[in-house]
Amino acid sequence: MSILVLGGAGYIGSHTVRALIEAGRDVVVADNLVTGHRAAVHPQARLYEGDLSDRAFLDRLLERESIDGVIHFAAYSLVGESVSNPLKYYRNNLCGTEVLLEALVAHGVERIVFSSTAATYGEPERIPILESDRTQPTNPYGETKLSMEKMIRWAGRAHNLRYVALRYFNACGALPDGSIGEDHQPETHLIPIVLQVALGRRERLDIFGGDYPTPDGTCVRDYIHVCDLADAHIRALTYLEQGGQSDVFNLGNGVGFSNLQVVETARAVTGHPIPSSIEARRPGDPATLVASSDKAARVLGWQPRYTDLGEIIATAYRWHRSHPQGYGDR
Ligand code: UFG
């Protein structure tokens, strides 16, 4: 039996495929390669190029392969773009997942692990954030992810499908050997942008906002290494295989770093001065997002291995230094 990874050519997907193969799983990847990269797909995984909203494509794949579990990463994930083009997010993230669920039900697949996000919470009620806290997204990206969670919950009850939703905080880092990593076009995330400055690919860093109610005035985030996220997906799959009930888990380190602390740490890792200045706030940024991942620790036995921000940034730096153009396919 095989595991189907939708979006397995993307950033978190490709690291999870790698971990699945190392764990001895047989892996099938489906990806439309719009934001994913062919070169990120592990050579031992069988790649099907196509879209999850294409029912005929999914049917062909599910007829040909013997799939007994699905990990679903295939979604658009740019907060700003989701505000300017919300229907793109509803179509792909929500409608695409609806087609996928119909196909899974028709082919008798009973387990799905899928990517959710800290953006489902919106402005948090308290820190650290618990899974039971209020979910009130402040952008269409978070809204489509929360709707996906709800759709899968109702479909699961009706159709004997069990799920785990994983709400990631700030995914970062790269496989320590530097062979795969983060390559978004355009890049909007803090750590890759900081490292592009260190590598001379950008002049400087704009820090969005210096007047937040945080210790140094800049936003605080919970950075979690992509390999720890990959490990959590395998644990979630195993949990479902062992009969675990449908559930939702936060995935973070439980420690917050301000944007200034990230820049300082990157200066220490790279030895580059990384010129930066405080600019206007970016609309929609919550001041502080820090996870409680106690539930994932308790139920899935998950503990992040990368707890040192310097070490996390060093793995990302290794990837960006050895792949200054990313995968070089765009
Ligand atoms: N930032 C800058 N300058 C930049 C880029 C980012 O100051 O050039 C700041 C942001 O304003 C924010 C922090 O760095 O304060 C982190 O920003 P990222 O874009 O790296 O990450 P976000 O916290 O905005 O987004 C992440 C995930 C999203 C998810 C969101 C939940 O990438 O998918 O967390 O709020 F939706």
Query: pLDDT tens for residues 34-64?
Result: 999 999 999 999 999 999 999 999 999 999 9
pLDDT at 284: 83
| 94-98 mean pLDDT | 98
Q: What is the pLDDT of residue 283?
A: 86
**Between 96-106 and 140-159, two packed helices, what is the crossing angle to 10 degrees?**
20
At residue 220's C-alpha, the angle toward residues 319 and 282, to 5°, is 85
Residue 40 has a pLDDT of 98
Cβ-contact 157, 300 below 8 angstroms:
no
Would residue 48 show up in a list of annotated catalytic residues for this protein?
no
CA separation for the pair 69, 185 (Å, rounded): 30
Nearest CA to ligand 1 atom 5: 190
Reported as type and span, the H/E element at residue 248 is: strand 247-251
Average pLDDT for 20-36: 97
Find the 156 Cα to ligand 1 centroid distance in Å: 32
pLDDT of amino acid 265: 98
Nearest to 116 by CA among 86, 87, 153, 88: 153
pLDDT at residue 279 is higher than 90: yes
Distance in Å, CA 117 to ligand 1 centroid: 12
Q: Which of 285, 288, 309, 312 to mutate to test the pocket of ligand 1 (most atoms within 8 A of CB)?
A: 285
Q: How far apart are CA 48 and CA 249, in angstroms?
A: 29
Question: Could you tell me which of 304, 9, 35, 74 has the C-alpha nearest to residue 173?
Answer: 304
The residue whose CA has the least distance to atom 14 of ligand 1 is 190
* Closest C-alpha to ligand 1, atom 13: 190
DSSP-derived letter for residue 282 is P
Amino acid, res. 239: Y
d(CA 162, ligand 1 centre) in Å = 31
